[in-house]
A and B are shown apart, each in its own frame.
Chain A
Amino acid sequence: MAPVLDVDALIGDPQTRIVVCCGAGGVGKTTTAAALGLRAAESGRRVVVLTIDPARRLAQSLGLTALDNTPKAVKDIDDTGGGSLDAMMLDMKRTFDDVVLAHAAPDKAQQILDNPFYQAVSSSFAGTQEYMAMEKLGQLRLEADRDPDNPRWDLIVVDTPPSRSALDFLDAPKRLGSFLDGRFIRLLAAPARVGGRAYLRVFSAGVNVVTTTLSKVLGGQMLNDVQTFVAALDTMFGGFRERADHTYALLKDGGTAFLVVATAERDALREASYFVDRLDEEGMPLAGLVVNRVYRVSAPGLSAARALSAAEQLADDEGGGSSGGSPDGSGSTAITRGLLRLHAAQAEVAARHQKLAKRFIAGHPGIPMVEVPAAAQDIHDLVGLRAVGNALAGH
């Protein structure tokens, strides 16, 4: 048996300041994040939920109708415990623009915003989302801590981007760091700088070869755009990196809890396994595993085998061994036979889910886990999110 993940203890602990929900695409990460946020808010915490790419109706359930990049209060929550709930969707371009505006000198900022390479990078290219999710998390935390006596939020719940390798967002600061320390940025930035040529002489003659090659491959105009972009960003890169490092450190500290989200399917649990190992490697604090959409039967006392044999026996009795025993269609016991066969099929699915969960536990002993039963319907409103929150808390 795996220890049970006590979600209420987690969100009830004032030391918990950030909860990060991560997992493969389609496992219900955003729903989990929203349900946790709501539950925490209704138990008295001041919560902000940062979602990355929510399904439309789930977004609507939080009152999010547009990408506006600023947290908005979620209406109609039970705030009798003194809590509050804000929610927002990440707008990566706006987040990037804000970084530029906040950290570059005004003339430089405009130069960056007008650069075609910047516009492409900030608005449409995959990968930017990971950097900007980290950036936004850092900003929210800063905002939360602005007035320590009266913090706007005391808990941030984050949904992670649906990355190709799902934990890309963890790598974002490191990648940025290795890039900033690298020779390549100096090479790109140098020619546009005053005295750049002299600076370049300290490099080998290889520089010319590289620049010529780049110009050949990219074309002179694009290389020029890239260089202008890098040179313009150069002035603000320091701050950029510092904040990325800071956010990374924040994720590692005791106030953060990672929840790995999965479903009771082989592929999703395999991804979850990878996440758990990866978080462990990075020294990130894992709170536990949430297994969504676990099938449960309402009549657990009856095994699948017993239900099937009972159904067959009823069919035999009715048909007297002759053609009368059509499987479910007719006869006075058709209803009961149908119920028994349905139960058998569902009990088998439930058993398969349990088996998969057990195997995960065997491979990762000691990781607290909570199962959320499958619901017939998708979540559309706060009532649905509350029900998920209840299930997360084991009720």
Chain B
Amino acid sequence: MAAGAAPGGAEVRDTDWDGVRLHIVTGKGGTGKTTVAAALALALAGQGRRVLLAEVEGRQGISQTFDVAPLASTEARIAHAPRGGEVFGLSVDAKAALLEYLHMYYKLGRAGGLLEKFGAIDFATTIAPGVRDVLLIGKVYEAVRRRRDPRARGRGSAPAYDAIVLDAPPSGRVARFLNVNHEVADLARVGPIRSQANSITAMLKSPQTAVHLVTLLEEMPVQETVDTIADLRAVGMPVGGVVVNQVREPILTPALLKAAARETISREDVAADLTRVSVRATDTLVDGLLAEARDHAERVALEHDEAKVIAGLRRPTYRLPTLPEGVDANGIREMAETLVAQGMA
């Protein structure tokens, strides 16, 4: 894991994503992308690093995952990582981002207030579709570029965050979400919005960025992973790793799975074994147990097929086991350790 320490305290580690500062995590709804994003943030924050974990859909998934107070549109520390790192959380709010942006780039005094009064801010953040997405990504862009010392410019000062993890919209929308700046740039052919959009697009497409996909070993999430990778490639976004979430440990041996699927298990033997340990071996019970094994074998076979599809993608792949007690703050730490051990962070 840790290979040594570089001057200035930044450790040199051999991970699959050295050089990536913006980790974008997406996946089909229900695959656990928020928990994976949280675990990745913790994993990246090992060894004294500062990591920002940002969400853009206002769902408060991060605060619920870490069991802390709801996040505001300002950054707050939400977790200490093992070995001294810190994770900050941010729920990016389009309106706050727009006001901040206007203030930062245009020094709008009275005009800012007037825009708000005339409903221009509401128009931009809720009615005018797309502007909202631009603002949300724009805020993430700002966090990636921010320096720890705000007065220092360029490479002289350390970045405010060593890494940023974005809990992005679900995979069905993510390519469009990330490419929105490109479309805005088409719309605004000249002017400040154009140049801002261009810089954001350049960052998103650079080797500093990786879009990771979370999936389950089920048909629809895997299909969506395949489709999303194609979508991302089509718009030139760098595809990162695939995280297979909720992997189940094998319970039955391959031989037993085969027998269960072929229904060659002897009912009499099972009934005799059950009777021996004083379990009443009714027909219902024995049939039930055999049916469970057959369903399980069918499911395992499907999981194997899906795993093959994922292997065919030829992306770095990580496997996170099912947490029997469900996901809580301790579960996230366990997942983070697993990701570190597998070289994702």
B263 CB–A CB distance under 8 Å: no
- On whether the beta carbons of B30 and A126 are closer than 8 Å, the reply is no
User: Contacts A25-B170, A182-B122, A210-B115 hold; do A336 and B274 have CB atoms under 8 A apart?
Assistant: yes
Encode contact with A along B284-295: 1 for CB under 8 Å, 0 otherwise: 110111111101
Residues of A within 8 A of B341 (CB): none
Asked if residues B191 and A335 are in contact (CB atoms below 8 Å), the reply is no
B207 touches A (CB below 8 Å): no
Q: Is the beta-carbon distance between B130 and A210 smaller than 8 angstroms?
A: no
Residues A216 and B288 in contact in the complex (CB < 8 Å), given A182-B123, A225-B187:
no
Cross-chain contact B326 with A266 (CB below 8 angstroms): yes
Produce 1/0 per residue, A175-217, CB < 8 A to B: 1101100111101000000000000000000110110111011
Count residues of chain A with CB under 8 A from any CB of chain B: 82
Rounded to whole Å, the gap between the CB of B192 and the closest CB of chain A is 7
Contacts of A300 in B (CB 8 A): 288
- Tell me if A235 counts as interface (CB < 8 A to partner B): no
List chain B residues, Cβ under 8 A from A337. Answer: 273
In the complex the two chains form, what is the Cα distance from A378 to B287 in whole Å? 24
Q: Flag the segment in B4-12, B78-86, B154-162, B172-180 that touches A.
A: B172-180
Are the CB atoms of A377 and B188 closer together than 8 Å?
Answer: no
Report whether A216 and B289 are in contact in the complex, using a CB–CB cutoff of 8 Å: no
Q: A102 within 8 Å of B by Cβ?
A: no
- Chain A residue with the shortest CB-CB distance to B136: A164
B75 within 8 A of A: no
Q: Which residues in A have their C-beta under 8 angstroms from that of B34?
A: 267
Q: Evaluate contact between B129 and A378: CB separation under 8 angstroms.
A: no
Segment at the A interface, from B17-25, B41-49, B102-110, B307-315: B102-110
In the complex the two chains form, is B292's CB within 8 Å of A346's CB?
yes
State whether B288 touches A25 (Cβ < 8 A). no
Q: What is the chain B residue whose CB lies nearest that of A120? A: B187
The docked-state distance in angstroms from the alpha carbon of A187 to that of B122 is 14
B115 x A339 contact (CB < 8 A): no
Q: Are B186 and A120 in contact (CB under 8 A)?
A: yes
Contact across chains for B129 and A126 when beta carbons are under 8 A apart? yes
Report the bound CA distance from A182 to B220 in whole Å.
Answer: 43
B111/A209 in contact, CB under 8 A: yes
Asked if A66 CB lies within 8 Å of chain B CBs, one says no
A-B contacts, 19 listed (Cβ < 8 Å): A55-B223, A56-B223, A57-B223, A126-B180, A127-B130, A165-B59, A182-B118, A184-B122, A187-B120, A206-B117, A209-B114, A212-B111, A216-B192, A298-B291, A299-B292, A301-B288, A314-B276, A338-B251, A342-B292
Interface residues of B (CB under 8 A from A): 28-31, 34, 57-59, 61, 64, 102, 106, 108, 110-111, 114-115, 117-120, 122-123, 126-130, 132-133, 169-170, 172-173, 176-177, 180, 183-184, 186-194, 218-221, 223-224, 227, 251-253, 256, 259, 265-266, 269-270, 273-274, 276-279, 282, 284-285, 287-293, 295-296, 298-299, 302, 324, 326-327
Which 5 A/B pairs are nearest by Cβ-Cβ distance?
A25-B29, A219-B191, A26-B30, A299-B288, A26-B29
